[in-house]
Structures are given as C-alpha cells and as structure tokens.
Amino acid sequence: MGHDVSDVNQIPVLEPVQELEIPNKIIAFNQRGRAQNVKETGLHFFVNDTQFRSVLQQPNKFLEPFSPFPVILTPDISLLEEMPEWLRIQRTHLSRSIGVYYQLRQFKVIPTLRWISISDLDFVLEGLQKHSVVAVGALGNYRDLKLRAIFEGGLNEIVDRLSPKAILVYGSIRPEFHQQLDRRTRVIVHKTYMSEFAQIVKDPEFEEGDLFSKRSASL
C-alpha cells in the first residue's frame, strides 16, 4: 500500500508538525557542523539548488548525518516564471517526496513552500493539513516590487487556506507586513547566516578568530 497523496496532482501528504515541535533555530543542512545545540536546531535548504542535489538523488546517504537534528524542512527547490506549470508541479512533488522519506524515518518535517504566482498555491498547498506549521524563504523577494506583492499575497492566501499555527520565515519581511500577518498567525523570523555574521562583526566583543574556529560540515 502506497503513501497517501493529494487527489489532483498526487502530491505526497505530510503529517503536520505541532507548535511544540518547532525548533528554536534553523541552520543550512550543509552548515550543520556550526550548530551549537543540535537538539533545538532544524535543518533547512535555503541555499542554491546545486548544493542539495545529492540529497534529492540519494536521501538515504544523509540519514545518519541528519539524525541528531529533530526537525528537517523540505528542500527549497526553485520554481521559475518561465517554467511550464507541469514542471513546477513536478518540483513541488519532489520536495514533498523528500519530506515524506524523512518523515517515515522518524524525523519531524516542516514543508517549505515556494510559489512564483498566486495560482501556484493550488498545487503547492496540496497534501498539507490545516493548523500545522509551514516555512518560507524571503530571500531577494523584496528587491522587486512585483515579487514582493506575489510573496506577501501568497502568504496571506496560505493563512486563508491553511490557518497555520505558525509560519517560519527565513530572511526578512517588512515590519508592517510582519505585524499584519502576526495578527492572524504566529510568525517566526530566522535571520540569514550573513545577517547574523554582520551582527557579530558589529559586536565590540567580537574577535576575528571566533568565527573561523567553528567547523562547517561538508556534504
């Protein structure tokens, strides 16, 4: 008997993650060696697609390296405007399939949602249950007014359709929009590694050797 899938596009169904299971921090899967408290850290894939190709092709090879981390976000596979819809659906299916693979092996999995138009949400939200936790990446969306409108409109639509308990945002969103969204659901913003690095450098107690003494994990 196969795994449950959605009716329309056969997107694999993920079991919901509850609020109490939300990690305190998230870190890129290929920077996991920098994690200071793995039991409170989730792994994300908000990096260039080429960096997690091996995870998509052979997820079994990462079972042991990922095992100390209680939560995994599904891969943030790029969707491009010039892509036909069937290819965007296929990439969404692949991301969700990787999530199911790890969920069946006792990981808690949070779906990462990506869309290039509001209409994409018709298939992006397939296989997801209401009142769960979802994640989105806000990297570069705010440099283009059109992309910003699609991103913010999409988040409002996600709240309308799923009523999530919480949304994890990797990157940054406008303070006004953050406040608006926070009235409807819990919004948890995680700064990018470079943003955190900038804050460290500005810290008067920062010593140059501190940053580079931390080991980063290889793929």
pLDDT digits (tens, 9 = 90+) for 115-143: 999 999 999 999 999 999 999 999 876 67
> Helix (H, G, I), strand (E, B), or coil: what is residue 100?
helix
Quote the strand ranges of 8-111, DSSP E: 25-28, 41-44, 71-73, 108-110
- What predicted TM-score, i.e. pTM, was given to this entire model? 0.86
Rg (alpha carbons) of the chain, rounded to whole number: 17
1-54 pLDDT tens trace: 578 999 999 999 999 998 889 999 999 999 999 999 999 999 999 999 999 999
What are 170-191's pLDDT values in tens digits? Answer: 998 999 999 999 999 999 999 8
Q: Smallest Cα–Cα separation from 115: which of 158, 154, 166?
A: 154
Instruction: Measure the CA–CA gap between 21 and 17, rounded to whole angstroms.
Output: 6
- pLDDT for 142: 67
Domains of the chain: 19-212 (3.20.20)
Residue 213 pLDDT: 31
Collect all residues with Cβ–Cβ distance below 8 Å to 70 and sequence separation of at least 6: 21, 23, 39, 42, 107, 108
